Chain A
Amino acid sequence: MNAEIKSYIPLVHVENLVKHFPVRLGAYSEKRAVVHAIDGISFDVYRGETLGLVGESGCGKSTTGFVILQLYKPSSGKVTFDGLELTAMDEKALRPIRKRAQIIFQDPYSTLNPRMTIMDALAEPIRVHNLLPEKSIPARIGQLLDDVGLNFGFANRYPHEFSGGQRQRICIARALACNPEFIVCDEPISALDVSIQAQIINLMMDLQEKYKLTYLFIAHDLAMVRHISDRVAVMYLGKIMEIASKVELFNNPRHPYTKALLAAVPEADPDHERNKPKVILTGDVSNAIDPPAGCRFHPRCQQARLECKQEPGPELAEIAPGHFSACPYF
């Protein structure tokens, strides 16, 4: 998108990241089990780019965002941010990083405290990090609200007085309050109506250009991901299946799962819908408590071979410059 700020210097580097959640099952919590939310993923987010992260519900895409920001501690693996290894730091050492890496959550209805005015909500990160003296906070909030297209007159109102789209603008303003470099956007538009989604996406793209932000954009809406991203990673059951530039991924998908996912997305064009090839996946996403051996996707893959069912499963490999796929056969 913005050629001048795109670089190949990784801002965030993720290496063999694993996150397992221990759970208890059964009517009396008598069984112990492990949810394999993320099972060994590696990727980079380059400075100034938007990396889209897509996948079906429960594939670990939100967990990935949370682990990068150390909101969850990973079970193993490494996350580095601008050369600093976050996974080796304690809470106190992470403090200065917290203002450089922010998050926008999915649901603008539950992420704002209903008892705090917009002014207080936006001032909180500034006060916590001691960024500005108290008397210059209102001016900064005025500027933040202006950045997200809201009026300073709104500052003394409460969240319930705003619509979903406006609340998401407030959440974006709060994420911007401490001048971050990196923002994890965890499905920021999926709770909003179609006509409002476009407003928020445009706003996020404008802000990225203005403040040279780097986004990790997590979503399940492939059309929006294609619109906003520079590169796209496809996840399935805790593993990355394919990473490529968006043009490559959408025009030349290589992994059978990516192909099926793209075919499943409806297009607002009756002619296209009638003529497109049908790849309908059978079955459901397997259980993350007991993921299938070998390739995670093999139970639903129409091209699965005997080798696909054997451990160890295939790893991401570069099949063309910048294009990685975890399927050795396609």
Chain B
Amino acid sequence: MSELLVVRDLETQFKVRAGRLHAVNGVSFSLKQGEMLGVVGESGCGKSVTMMSLIRLLPPSASITNGSVMLEGLDLIKANKQQINAVRGSKIGMIFQDPMTSLNPFVKIGIQLSEGLIYHKRMGKREAYDRCAQYLDLVGISNSRHRLEEYPHQLSGGMRQRVMIAMALVCEPKIVIADEPTTALDVTIQAQIVELVKELREKLNASIIWITHDLSLLAGMADRIMVMYAGCIVEEACLRDLYKDPRHPYTIGLLDSIPRIKNDENLRLKSIPGQPPNLMQKPSSCPFASRCAFKTERCERENPSLAFAPGEIEGSSHKIACWVDTRGRQ
């Protein structure tokens, strides 16, 4: 698999009343063709801002202060407005969290769905509608022709999320960024959407970045997972390694704090003490140090960068940002 998207040293800041909020602090990763990359972290850890920075869908108060995002020879950070518009929707599709607010309530489904095709692919309306109906069928919406003439309020939450997925896919992008697409949905509907995305990924051979706060959800679908904390990637590993052999103390804590259906009588959950740090200052020490059970003196002095986990050989995909070798100490 070749590298489709390469992100280097991305930094994004927000101007707020009290100063600068360091939301993303030097994130580097790459995405391979056809890969499903899971990004997990708690609210405010910078996972959404990182992915929005890729296609520069940020509010005016935010600025990307450093880094590069290379897609097919084009640096999306330096690209001009025309170039970035040609990427949005056409090369990188987006599925947003809340299907209730991401669709325009005054505009028919068909018009919203065909907009990308008419703009990017220069299709005529009839041709675009044919394609849209095809994609609605693909995402499991029956009676698709008729649905194109309906308004968003006529569909249920699960159906609206299906429309959002169809919208992200209709221009056949190489990359789809799904920002917590199931968080607003019930578990039985979530299971439907997850199954659908897995199927579509096989069919369309797209790369998917799935952002979530729910580690359990990724266990059934991701190839590789990145764990984010305080605007940094703290651990990156393939699916099995992350769940069976987590190395970063934060990942270990996160996995321990989820109650498992398997173990019956664990009376107390292990929780991570304290709270995430304030990001008004760029972290100069390890941002997790104050909550960490393995903390050493070095952790409070220097911020570790993402490197191969201890014992892993060069070329392994298992990386952590930690000074401590946690093996055998859990």
Give the interface of A toward B (CB within 8 A): 1, 56-57, 163, 165-166, 193-199, 201-202, 205, 220, 222-224, 226-227, 247, 250, 260-270, 272-274, 278, 280-282, 284-285
Evaluate whether A194 and B257 lie within 8 angstroms (CB atoms) in the complex, with A56-B188, A222-B187, A270-B240 already known: yes
Q: Look across to chain A and name the residue whose beta carbon is closest to the beta carbon of B242.
A: A270
Contact of A284 among B42, B187, B189, B268 (CB under 8 A): B189
B271 and A274 contacting across the interface, CB-CB below 8 Å: no
Q: Choose from A1, A226, A261 the contact partner of B188 (Cβ within 8 Å).
A: A261
* Given A194-B215, A268-B215, A273-B219, 20 further pairs, Cβ under 8 A: A163-B275, A194-B257, A195-B253, A195-B257, A195-B271, A198-B272, A199-B273, A201-B259, A201-B269, A223-B260, A261-B188, A262-B261, A264-B187, A264-B191, A269-B260, A270-B220, A270-B240, A273-B221, A282-B192, A284-B157
The answer to whether the Cβ of B314 comes within 8 Å of any Cβ in the partner chain is: no
With both beta carbons as reference points, the residue of chain A lying nearest to B215 in the complex is identified as A268
Docked CA distance A201–B268 (Å):
9
Indicate whether A281 sits within 8 Å of B214 (C-beta atoms), given known contacts A268-B260, A272-B262. Answer: no
- Selected from A166, A265, A281, the residue in CB contact (under 8 A) with B261 is A265
Q: Chain B residues near A195 (CB, 8 Å)?
A: 42, 253-254, 257, 271-272
Interface centre among B214, B257, B262, B268 (most CB of A within 10 A): B257
Question: Are B269 and A227 interface neighbours, CB within 8 A?
Answer: yes
Q: B186 contacts A285, CB within 8 Å?
A: yes
Q: How far is the CA of A280 from the CA of B220 in the complex (A)?
A: 14
Q: Mark B194-224, 1 if CB is under 8 A from A, else 0.
A: 1100000000000000000111110111000
Cross-interface CB contact of B191 among A166, A201, A205, A263, cutoff 8 Å: A263
What residues of chain A lie closer than 8 Å to B269, measured between beta carbons? 198, 201-202, 227
A-B contact pairs, 27 of them (CB 8 A): A56-B186, A194-B257, A196-B275, A198-B256, A198-B270, A198-B272, A199-B271, A199-B273, A205-B268, A220-B186, A223-B258, A223-B259, A226-B259, A262-B261, A264-B188, A265-B261, A267-B219, A267-B260, A267-B261, A268-B215, A268-B219, A269-B260, A269-B262, A270-B219, A273-B221, A284-B158, A284-B159
From A163, A198, A273, name the one whose CB has the most chain B CB atoms within 10 angstroms.
A198
Instruction: Give A201 to B269 CA distance when docked, in angstroms.
Output: 8
CB-CB under 8 A from B159, the residues of chain A are 284
A266 vs B191: C-alpha distance in the bound complex, in angstroms? Answer: 8
Smallest CB–CB gap between A143 and chain B, Å? 22
The CA of A269 and the CA of B272, in the complex, are separated in Å by 20
The answer to whether A260 touches B188, judged by C-beta atoms less than 8 angstroms apart, is yes
In the complex, the answer to whether A223 meets B267 with C-beta atoms within 8 Å is no
Interface residues of B (CB under 8 A from A): 42-43, 156-159, 186-192, 194-195, 213-217, 219-221, 239-240, 243-244, 253-262, 264, 266-273, 275-276
CA distance A272 to B260 in the complex (A): 11
A278 partner residues in chain B, CB cutoff 8 A: 195
In the assembled complex, the CB of A320 is this many whole angstroms from the nearest CB of chain B, namely 19
Q: Do A198 and B271 have beta carbons less than 8 Å apart?
A: yes
In the complex the two chains form, is B239's CB within 8 Å of A194's CB? Answer: no
State the CA gap A272–B189 with chains docked (Å). 20
Q: Is the CB of B259 within 8 A of A193?
A: no
Could you tell me the dominant secondary structure of chain A's interface residues? helix
The complex places the Cα of A278 from the Cα of B194 at a distance, in Å, of 12
Q: Are A202 and B268 CB-contacts (below 8 A) given A220-B186, A280-B192?
A: yes
Assess the B257–A266 pair: CB atoms within 8 A: no
| Known pairs A56-B187, A193-B43, A202-B269; A267 contacts B216 (CB<8 A) | yes
Complex interface: chain B residues within 8 A of A226 (CB)? 259, 261
Chain B proximity of A17: nearest CB distance (Å): 23
Question: Distance in Å from the Cβ of B3 to the closest Cβ of chain A?
Answer: 24
- Asked if B258 and A268 sit within 8 Å, CB to CB, the answer is yes
A165 to B291, CA, bound (A): 15
Residues of the B chain whose Cβ atoms lie less than 8 Å from the Cβ of A281: 188, 191-192
Q: How far is the CB of A12 from chain B (nearest CB, A)?
A: 25
- Chain A residue nearest to B140 in the complex (CB): A282
Q: How far is the CA of A274 from the CA of B187 in the complex (A)?
A: 18
Q: Does the CB pair A57–B186 fall under 8 Å? A: yes
Q: When chains A and B are docked, how far (Å) is the Cα of A203 from the Cα of B190?
A: 30
Min CB gap A62→B, angstroms: 14
Question: For the complex, what is the distance from the CA of A165 to the CA of B271, rounded to whole Å?
Answer: 12
Q: How close is B223's CB to chain A, nearest CB, in angstroms?
A: 11
Task: Write out the residue numbers on chain B whose beta carbons fall within 8 Å of the beta carbon of A261.
Answer: 187-188
B261 nearest CB across to chain A (Å)? 6
What chain B residues lie within 8 Å of A205 (beta carbons)? 267-268
A278 to B188, CA, bound (A): 12
Residues of B with C-beta under 8 A to A284: 156-159, 189
Complex: A201 Cα to B195 Cα, angstroms: 31
Contact A266/B214 with A273-B220, A284-B189 known, Cβ cut-off 8 Å: yes
Inside 8 A of A199's CB, which chain B residues have their CB? 271-273
Which residue from B42, B156, B261 sits with its C-beta under 8 Å from A194?
Answer: B42
